[in-house]
Amino acid sequence: MPETTRRADRHPGNRYGNRPTMKDVAARAGVGLKTVSRVVNGEPGVTPDTERRVQEAIDALGFRRNDSARVLRKGRTASIGLVLEDLADPFYGPLSRAVEEVARSHGALLINGSSAEDPERERELALALCARRVDGLVVIPAGDDHRYLEPEIRAGVATVFVDRPAGRIDADVVLSDNFGGARDGVAHLIAHGHRRIGFIGDMPRIHTAAERLRGYRAAMEDAGIRVEDRWMSLGVTSPERVRRAAQEMLSGPDPVTAVFTGNNRVTVTVVRVLFEQSRQVALVGFDDFELADLLRPGVTVVAQDAAALGRTAAERLFRQLDGGLVAPERIELPTRLITRGSGELPPAG
């Protein structure tokens, strides 16, 4: 197998495009290496004439500084990582964008990746980002054990968790008030006369799902309503399962008269199911979504501010990086009940 000899091994095949380096620029401009470095970085101590010569050489050769080498030397990469669940989810777009804007204002680039709700993939991704030596990490956890990040955090990687808390380590967290939001949403339904209220949410191992369920239970308990098991459905939020769950609790002898949905995907699926019903069923959903106001009836939601979550987390991250270390903190952002009609429907006879 002569595969080893094929390559030009003397010059490791890395200069794939044969990019010019500072050395090349220096040679062409007839100056020293460090002078080129000074010009490139706008450091003082270079005569205008020399600077012009260097600049000409740079333009002529199409030189661009190799930031990998720079990073190696300087230790900071001016980039941060974002591990989220799924970029295609409309909830994470604005969050990611908010993180990006903060990063940009600090001169940093954003590297992001989707975990697809798979703890193992989250881990791989986060560690790959650490290997790139990102300065910091914003993580939307998929798993519930983040001890694998301990060495990284000790080594100086700033870390902030968003949307869900970190598992088994002490770290900064930025959350929505999932419990309070769900409780308010369900209380809203109760206030409009509902007693038999369904809850359809995500798998309870996901923190937000568990908290929202807790909010649901609390509101029911506050109203002195005994919750029946068949009113609650927790599991993957695939349209098929949610559809089945909704149909079940809407049929039978004592069907629910209202439904509280645990996130925007669930809400949309349930809206579809309700459209097919003759009977009017009240609905309040967690998470706002575009066009919720244009449906008839408009969909009442508990809105959380995805952009604010991202922004808050990113700002906290950079504060970790700039200032000294501060004790990990848990920041909870309020939610907002937006009434549009679907939650105000009275219980159908």
Partner DNA sequence: TAGAGCCTGGACAACGTTGTCAGGTGCGCG
Partner DNA sequence: CGCGCACCTGACAACGTTGTCCAGGCTCTA
Stretch that binds its own copies, among 90-98, 169-177, 195-203, 230-238 (CB under 8 A): 90-98
Q: Which is nearer to DNA, 40 or 308 (CB)?
A: 40
Q: Report the residue from 112, 277, 280, 339 that binds its own copies according to the rule CB under 8 A.
A: 112
Q: Which is nearer to its own copies, 79 or 237 (CB)?
A: 79
d(CA 244, CA 130): 42
Q: Which is nearer to its own copies, 37 or 112 (CB)?
A: 112
d(CA 110, CA 79): 6
What b/e readout covers 331-343, taking b as 16+ CB neighbours within 10 angstroms? eeeebeebebebb
How many C-beta neighbours within 10 Å does residue 249 have? 23
* Contacted entry of DNA, its own copies, none for residue 22, CB cut-off 5 to 8 Å set by kind: DNA
Stretch that binds its own copies, among 209-217, 225-233, 238-246, 267-275 (CB under 8 A): 267-275
Q: C-alpha distances in angstroms, 277 versus 246, 257, 259, 273?
A: 11, 12, 13, 7
Q: How far is the CB of 114 from its own copies (least distance, A)?
A: 6
Binding string, residues 308-347; x marks residues near DNA by CB under 7 A: ----------------------------------------
Residue type, 337: L
Q: Report the residue from 7, 23, 34, 72 that binds its own copies according to the rule CB under 8 A.
A: 72
Residue 68 class from Cβ within 10 Å (0-12 exposed, 13-18 middle, 19+ buried)? exposed
Gyration radius (Cα) of the chain, Å: 27
Map residue 270 onto helix, strand or coil: helix
CB 136 within 8 A of CB 321: yes
The DSSP line for 58-103 is HHHHT----HHHHHHHHS--SEEEEEES-TTSTTHHHHHHHHHHHH
Interaction of residue 52 with DNA, rule CB under 7 A: no
Binding string, residues 158-197; x marks residues near its own copies by CB under 8 A: ----------------------------------------
Nearest to 143 by CA among 121, 170, 162: 121
Q: Which is nearer to DNA, 77 or 263 (CB)?
A: 77
Q: Which is nearer to DNA, 71 or 218 (CB)?
A: 71
Interaction of residue 79 with DNA, rule CB under 7 A: no
d(CA 32, CA 53): 12
Q: Report the residue from 1, 2, 12, 62 that binds DNA according to the rule CB under 7 A.
A: 12
d(CA 105, CA 322): 13
Q: How far is the CB of 259 from its own copies (least distance, A)?
A: 16
Interaction of residue 47 with DNA, rule CB under 7 A: yes
Greatest distance between any 2 Cα atoms in the chain = 91
Stretch that binds its own copies, among 30-38, 61-69, 199-207, 333-341 (CB under 8 A): 61-69
Q: How far is the CB of 129 from its own copies (least distance, A)?
A: 8
∠ CA 293-298-299, rounded to 5°: 95
Residue type, 36: V
Map residue 197 onto helix, strand or coil: strand
Q: How far is the CB of 307 from its own copies (least distance, A)?
A: 8
Interaction of residue 156 with DNA, rule CB under 7 A: no
Using CB under 7 A as the criterion, which residues of the chain lie in contact with DNA when the complex forms? 4-12, 14-15, 19, 21-23, 26, 30-35, 37-38, 40-41, 44-47, 49-50, 63, 65-66, 69-70, 72-74
Using CB under 8 A as the criterion, which residues of the chain lie in contact with its own copies when the complex forms? 12-19, 62, 64-69, 71-77, 79, 86-90, 92-94, 96-97, 100, 104, 109-114, 127-133, 150-152, 154-157, 268, 271-272, 275, 289-291, 294-296, 307
